[in-house]
Structure 1
Amino acid sequence: EVEDTAFRHDLLKGMRYGLAGRRNLSAPPSWKKVSAKLGQSLDAGVREEVRLLGLAFGDEAAIKAMRAKVMNAKAPVEERRRALNVLVEKKADGLAGDLKFLLDDNALRLDALRGMAVFGGNDVPGLVLARYANLNDAEKRETVQMLVSRPTYAGALLEALARGIIPRSEVSVFAARQILGFNDEKLNASLREAWGELRPTAVNKKPLFERYRKLLTLENLKKANLSNGRLIFTRTCAACHKLYGEGGQIAPDITGSDRATLDYLLENVLDPNAAIGKDYQLNVVTTKDGRAVSGIISAENDNSLTVQSLTERVVLSKDDLASRKILPVSMMPEGIFLALKDEEVRDLVAYLAGTEQVPLPKEQE
């Protein structure tokens, strides 16, 4: 009954967040009356929140309206994105076909890729790989993460890697580790052949430290291409770490860290499991339909689990979970340097040791 528009908006939004991850909800007895009234609000934000909340209650009219908004290229992009994300979370009927259509929508392609990871489908790998060459860097990272979310998709990824459709440099150590997590010997053999060996770092890491100390001398670092170092950081580290105000928020912001000190850098990169904070332990959650999501747990309640993965924040209903494991390893994988050429390691370390941002290579700008 409160007439305060801002209060109404916040209340509806809070209710929607509180119901995230819950399935088969029944609308309150008064919902039809309340939604009809608030659906006529002069405030667009309130009207949108009413429709989004209606999705949680299985309101067919709300689902139809939200699907129409998502597919309307003239609607505001942020409103389309919010609607799509809620529809994906609720696994709305008919949305799988919409997601395939949205692969050719520049504004929502990234969100469509994330949605396709949820819905699955045997034709998904072929659809995304056919477009891979024309995707931007963020979309390529999302595609790789989506393709390592299911064993059958991982097989398609490795085949594309072997055929040169996806360059080896665009499949991260994190993605390779997730493929190994399926414990499928056929996939492991394909990974070794197409990507390389992801060997556990030896218990005695002294030789490894000595190798990179010899490589990363001050004289050699002076030869580094700092712009290329930034590009490697963007592809290898920026999904988790923020530097100079750019990057992810999964791992610590390293702008103010002691990254100019070589030993500090080597200790954190070569031996990330030496000291693992509880908040940074790797969690692997598998859904009943075979999807694997790896990351850190950012929120949890009686009904849902929120996982911050390498590329997105995933809200999972506990009713959909098949298993959940907390591994005794850091979210940051070992072997990052081993997956790079020596020149790339040099460029990356020199960039990290810098005191100011540098431009990306011209072809990447």
Structure 2
Amino acid sequence: PRPPALHNASLSDLVALLEHPNGWHRDTASRLLFERADRKAVPGLERLARRSRSELGRMHALWALEGLGSLSDEVLARGLGDPSPVVREQAIRLAELHRVDGGLSSKLWSGLAPLAHDPNLDVRRQLAWTLSLVNNRGKAPVLRELLLSSEAGQGLIPPALNALGEEAVPLLEELLTPGGPVATNANALPALMGLTRMISTRHRPPEVEALAARLAGLEPSTTSVTLLGEMASGLHRAGGRLMPHRDDPGPELSRHYSKAVELAERGGGDPAAIEAQVAALRLLGFMPFAIGGGRIAAALEATRPARVQRAALEALTTVQVPEAAGAVLNRWEKVDRGLRSDLLTWLLRRRPWTESLLDALDRGGVARTELSAEHVQRLRASTDPLIESRVGTLFGPPRAGSRQEVVNQFLPALALASDAGRGRKVYEQRCAGCHRVAGAGRAIGPDFESVRSMGKEKLLTNILDPNREVAPAYLAYNAETRSGDSVTGLLLAEGAEAVTLRTTDGLEVKLSRSQIKTLSPSGISLMPEGLEQGMSPQELADLLEFISSGR
């Protein structure tokens, strides 16, 4: 049936329709009330906001009153205390529009502040975001309650930290008071981590110095190691250092470094032990390599929990010294095989590490077959004559001929009988590192769900000749830093202060503009050529069937 013509409806009828069970009726009535701008509807809307049995009706009544410029603080305050979380959440949003010089009236503030204890997480999450716009006195205690709640980790910490502003340092001091929340409240650590990260990243020297002294003065523990790791990471992102003189931590920090070494060496597979190792490895990445390097390399071994191995890899991304490559390569046989591809990518970031990798390839410590086509392509792209010569000796000259010849060579695969089950195995071996499908794999290149409808011939061409058509979102960028790092990845974000690249190992690398020496598009896809090497036409046919069928 055709929808009713509401444009001739009376004001009272439009108000009544705000609690209609059909969404079209409610939305249309809201629009018409706004367009008519007739304040004669106000009494009816206020009655609806107070008495409607429909939570959606009460919510629409509040917004309709606001649209007419007639939503009083009294009615809005009642909305903040409404039995329905849907209405309370929307009333919080409406309160943002009732600020005067950044603050709320005492009536609205007295209705807003108690919502820090609201049983509904969405209500508290909206409260946290709204408080970033409100400057009422007494805001800090409300944010403290949100940060220390048991559900703070479910989306409350970022908006609450954003709302704290200049209150961040006093709150951190309060939380670190001996015998205070950090000792008695299990929820205090995530809040402290967020506060430490926030203060470190904004990098105001007086705040940073006070924070460093406060953390260094703590008793060495998993908590102190965790917070110092957060501080070191935040300072690193801001272009600073936890230790201005990297090789001299001083007596206070040395106590915590010793604790980090102890936690990293202690091992263990229970959740608490794993978290302690992860925290220790994060801090070890910012310690003098002579102290922490061996422990980081040991954490890469296959006998360690997967989360610990990944933390060790992330710790290596902060290391710059030449001897780091040797520490990893000397343990290569013990390193988990699932981590080796990412480590090879890491080794290609700096020239001295690349030379160490080539040495390992020469003596057989690393098998040439462990390098993917993408790794070999990056090696061949080196402009260093010595590296270019060594790569040519190890892998031979680049294959001659155009990519179209390769495509033509594999076109018969389109006529072969194929099996999606076998194709999944090819995907797991060759594609899962960069492409997701049905929730599996990494989201670096296009999700296979988005290319399934291309047809097998188009897919074959894109796989074998990835540079024929490159979407801007998948163009590889090369960044060289002033410290000698080389990072290749997709350009995720580019701003006046920093650039973020996503590398083929799935890491997001944020570089401040002051760190970058050069940044330029490579002109080619992040997906390498040569993926057909070692692949039979039958394997390609099976892979195409898997991608096309989605099974």
Give the TM-score normalised by the residue count of structure 2: 0.53
Matched, 1:341 2:481: no
| Cα deviation, residue 149, structure 1 | 0.9
Partner amino acid for 2:359? E
Aligned counterpart in structure 2 of residue 208 of structure 1, from 406, 412, 430 = 406
Structure with the greater relative contact order (CA < 8 A, sep ≥ 6): 1 or 2?
1
Q: Which runs of 5+ in 2 are unaligned?
A: 1-140, 201-207, 217-223, 227-256
SS of equivalent to 2:530: coil
| Cα deviation, residue 185, structure 1 | 1.6
Deviations 1:61-100 (A, max 9, x none): 5475326466364535356536755x47xx6344773243
Identity rate, percent: 20
Instruction: Mark the structure with the bigger radius of gyration.
Output: 2
Matched, 1:287 2:447: no
Q: Which residue number corresponds to residue 459 of structure 2?
A: 265
Q: Which runs of 5+ in 1 are unaligned?
A: 19-25, 358-365
Counterpart CA distance in 2 for 1:335 and 1:73 is 41
Q: Which residue number corresponds to residue 415 of structure 2?
A: 218
| Cα deviation, residue 132, structure 1 | 1.7
Aligned counterpart in structure 1 of residue 542 of structure 2, from 325, 346, 350 = 350
Q: Which residue number corresponds to residue 118 of structure 1?
A: 318
Aligned counterpart in structure 1 of residue 349 of structure 2, from 116, 136, 149 = 149
Q: Which residue number corresponds to residue 93 of structure 2?
A: none
Counterpart CA distance in 2 for 1:32 and 1:207 is 64
| Cα deviation, residue 104, structure 1 | 2.1
Distance 1:263 1:78, change over 3 A: farther
| Aligned-residue CA RMSD (Å) | 3.6
| Cα deviation, residue 268, structure 1 | 0.7
Distance 1:163 1:218, change over 3 A: farther
- 2:480–2:486 Cα contact (<8 Å) kept: yes
Counterpart CA distance in 2 for 1:180 and 1:40 is 52
Counterpart CA distance in 1 for 2:369 and 2:453 is 24
Distance 1:318 1:352, change over 3 A: same
- Map of 1:124-135 to 2, 5 A cutoff? 124-135=324-335
Deviations 1:340-360 (A, max 9, x none): 1243x5324413413476xxx
Q: How many residues align?
A: 338
SS of equivalent to 2:463: helix
Counterpart CA distance in 1 for 2:276 and 2:362 is 39
Q: Which residue number corresponds to residue 173 of structure 2?
A: 33
Structure 1 or 2: more helix by fraction: 2
Structure 1 or 2: more strand by fraction: 1
- 2:432–2:441 Cα contact (<8 Å) kept: yes
- 1:118–1:291 Cα contact (<8 Å) kept: no
Q: Which residue number corresponds to residue 317 of structure 1?
A: 512
- 1:281–1:329 Cα contact (<8 Å) kept: yes
Aligned counterpart in structure 1 of residue 212 of structure 2, from 59, 67, 78 = 59
Deviations 1:206-260 (A, max 9, x none): 433221114x2534x55x8965x55553343212101343111011111463389
Q: Which residue number corresponds to residue 374 of structure 2?
A: 174
SS of equivalent to 2:182: coil
| Cα deviation, residue 30, structure 1 | 3.0
Distance 1:206 1:298, change over 3 A: closer
Q: Which residue number corresponds to residue 254 of structure 2?
A: none
SS of equivalent to 1:252: coil
Distance 1:278 1:27, change over 3 A: farther
